[in-house]
Chain A
Amino acid sequence: MQNDMVQSGLAGIEIRDLHLSFGPTKVLTGVNLTIRPGEFFAFLGPSGSGKSTLLRAIAGFGPRPQGEISIGGRDVAGLPPWQRDVGMVFQSYALWPHMSVRENVAFGLRERKAAPAEIRRRVGDALDLVGLSHLADRMPNQLSGGQQQRIALARTVVIEPKVLLLDEPLSNLDAGLRVQMRRELLALQRKLGLTTIFVTHDQEEANTTSDRMAVLDGGVIQQVGTPQELYDNPVNLFVARFLGTANILEGRVERAGDGVRFVSLSGEAIQLSSAATGTGAIVLRPQNISLTARSTPTTLPGTVRHCEFLGSQMRYLVECAGTEMVVDKPHRSGDQVFLPETQVKLDINAADAVFLADGR
């Protein structure tokens, strides 16, 4: 059994064609996902997109889903939560108020019938890990939010689960503590090498912590990849909009000489390097557009409507090709500022424009 636990850190998760509904309401549809051993993986999506439901299905809570879930090569779909060897940290921490910190942390080991000496040692180790050994004899209601969070973590990792599931673990903390806990969490995960899934609706949290992430919407996985991949190459408008600010220009891409060009609905055209052609939209990030006064084949004409000084950058709202585009310009002292109502040209680097054909 001990050997079992040493090995347990390196388990991947395979989800195949998972469907789940609450009564008549379909909540998850056709979920396919591979999470690699030792990976820090994030589920990102707006509220109600099914992140918690998917996480809980992995842990064995909620209605029984159709499809396959396997953890470390073992099919767990029919197993009750207590046989899955999955550690879950709850949004509310769920520390038992009638047990001391030590008893809370020891619970899982007691359930596994570990020897008293071993329990003592491992509980001590787990509390050391989160730096709260001195609070072992407190009751949960005598702890601050951040401390409760760490204890909840210690209680989960002490059983050396195969995977660690975290459902919005930082949402109950105030802003400063959230950043600190985020780093601690990542450091801990790296140290233990635990396969970890982290649920959040906050893209910054997902970007800063995860190796890879899955973006969910309406119970469907939209895209899986590293934070940069998803940001740079979103596969659809939802992902493009959900990760950072996206300017969307609708129109069509057509051949023009050796290259291709994009023609917006209102008729303006620019050169592109896209291979695909057809109708759809291009996605442009605000920092990939620059404002100039000169017209070239890679520029679109526009009118500045509004400008906001954000310190490190200047943010412009520019009316262009029938829509409003956001353009960010890094700020240096002495830079030229384009005042509202100025006519400008938006210079678009062809390589930075992502073309999404219709229906994506």
Chain B
Amino acid sequence: MSQQPDVAARRPTLANRLPAFLFPRLNPVALTGVIIAIFLIGFLIFPVLQVIHVAFQNPSSGTLTLQNFGDFFATSLFRESFVNSFYVSAVSVVVATIIALPLAYITTRFNFGGSMLIQSLGFIPLIMPPFVGAVAMQLIFGRNGTINLLLRDRFGISIPFMEGLNGVILVQSIHYFPFILINLSASLRNIDRSMEEAAQNLGAHGLRLFRRIVFPLATPGYVAGAALVFIKVFDDLGTPLLLNVNNMLAPQAYLRITSVGISDPMGYVISVILVAFSILSLWASFLVMRGKDYATVQKGGGGLAKRDLAPREKVMAYAVVFFILSLVLSPHLGLLLLSLSTIWSFAPLPDGYTLANYARMWESSQGYVANTLLYAGIAATLDVILGTAIAYIVLRTGIAGRKWLDYLATAALAVPGVVLGIGYLRTFQSVDVPFIDKPLASWWVIIAIALTIRRLPYALRACMAALQQVSLALEEAAESLGATKMRTIRKIVVPLMSGGILAGFVTSFATASVELSATIMLVSAERDSPLAYGIYLFMQTPSGRGAGAALGILAVVIVAIGTILSQIIIERDKKMRTSGREH
């Protein structure tokens, strides 16, 4: 056995004697990389470039021009939409900061019993797509919602929480503030106590200490969170659509394409603006983060000094936390109430309670649920396969250009769902699927692919993290015992990554199952609709709201289970690795 490979290695074959560039040595790993690159270029880069190209093209003659942008800014509706989108995003960041700052401050600076509560409840908004809660928010905060009815009753006043852009701002900031909370708390926790003590030792204290030391050290984390909120709000389509706020960029793009048609250049111009802003905010947060890895915690350190609260302060702290959390949980409560109500209109609370909505939802939504399981299942499976392969190629091989696979996959972060949807419509309208007799753009598979691309950056991060946990020596040990590269990947690498891969799968699945923005562009028949689109359809009519809310609750439950599962998997995995260390 041992003599065979030797002979093969010595005797030069024809291919060995020809110059190497004629036969690029495509081992299975490199081949996989090439296939992935083709997939990413075909379904992400090309469609987006196509969108950008069309935006700069004269619709009739096809020549390159800036005319479309001129037309865009000459139209008052578009100018207004542009300003509105910017305004809504910026104000949402401010409101989200106002919500997140006290929570982060209280949990990281004080010994506060409610910290755990904040840590867990603070993340709840993320398990519900914002558009799902939008209708419920209207019932609570709207002109004729619970709060305003009570206010009008008692004090004769009403507050326009949900009027026009205010509604979008409220819904978005309540939904997305956890991004700021997570990042800001993490930076605050990473500041070593000695940093603060050194400043105190040198004479700084109180507000000055906060301004000079704590705030600068926490800034990168804050900016990263704020940039994320800004992009998410800027790109979001579902929330404004459901609140019937159409004078913003994403809804305008959607409406132009669906009403005027796919050859109307305005949708493409808006897409370019959306992408440009996404890249700009990602770049800004990259600039701020670069070279400022302020994880200063040293051995035995562990975060800023925490102090006990005086009784009076404790009451205040609880009051603030209680107020914020009830605000944050209101969409969920509202949705739950709505799903259980007979009629809820012009009243602080529903008229009566029933389970009929769930029955109705179940009868009419099985198709949605089945489609969602199918699409999200395909997307999550593809995501972890692509993620694992890219992670392996990037981290463990020397293949030229391997970094570009990472960049390509991560580029999806800068592409809003609406833009991807428009790109697919434009690119794949003319590509016919063999044997189906349909363009690829209206085949259900394209929805699954869009979801795959959209969730890939997150799955890739999960897979990279999982692979980084696997020490290289574990692979080398297998190879020296006789396992080939491929066998080593199968028997050692993938099993050891399985915890991380599974967690990535579950997260991708859960978030893909409630994704609306790309889906809404690509659903060509109600038969092909997933759950998120179903909720959207239900919510269009007052009579469908109950069932829509029930479907929304189902979505929240799916995402919540997914999130909890992935946490459990990650924890269990960590235990398997570390319990043997203390010898």
Contact = CB atoms under 8 A, between A and B. Distances in A.
Contacts of A92: 471, 473
B580 A97 contact: yes
Contacts of A159: 481-482
B482 A111 contact: yes
Contacts of A98: 495-496, 498, 576
A74 B6 contact: yes
B496 A96 contact: yes
Nearest to B6: A74
Contacts of A115: none
Interface string B383-411: 00000000000000000000000000000
Contacts of A124: none
Given A107-B483, A108-B481, A111-B483, A144 B583 contact: yes
Contact of B482 (A61, A78, A96, A108): A108
B1 A4 contact: yes
Nearest to A83: B5
A111 B487 contact: yes
A90 B482 CA distance: 15
Nearest to A84: B480
Interface residues of A, number: 41
Contacts of A91: 473
A78 B5 CA distance: 10
B483 A82 contact: yes
Contacts of B485: 80
Nearest to B4: A83
Contacts of A140: 580
Nearest to A146: B583
Contact of B480 (A75, A78, A86, A148): A86
A141 B583 CA distance: 10
B2 A82 contact: no
Nearest to B498: A98
A187 interface: no
Contacts of B483: 82, 107, 111
A352 interface: no
Nearest to A63: B398
Given A79-B9, A96-B474, A4 B480 contact: no
Interface residues of B, number: 33
Interface in B1-38: 1-3, 5-6, 9-10
A107 B6 CA distance: 24
A85 B580 contact: no
B10 to A, nearest CB: 8
Contacts of A59: 476, 480
A9 interface: no
Contact of A78 (B9, B479, B487, B495): B9
Nearest to A77: B9
Interface in A49-66: 59-61
A276 interface: no
A302 interface: no
Contact of A94 (B1, B3, B477): B477
A218 interface: no
Contact of A88 (B480, B484, B576, B583): B480
Contacts of A87: 480-481
Contacts of B495: 98
B295 interface: no
B61 interface: no
A18 B188 CA distance: 52
Nearest to B578: A141
Contacts of A108: 481-482
Given A78-B9, A81-B479, 6 more contacts: A75-B10, A94-B476, A96-B492, A112-B482, A141-B580, A155-B477
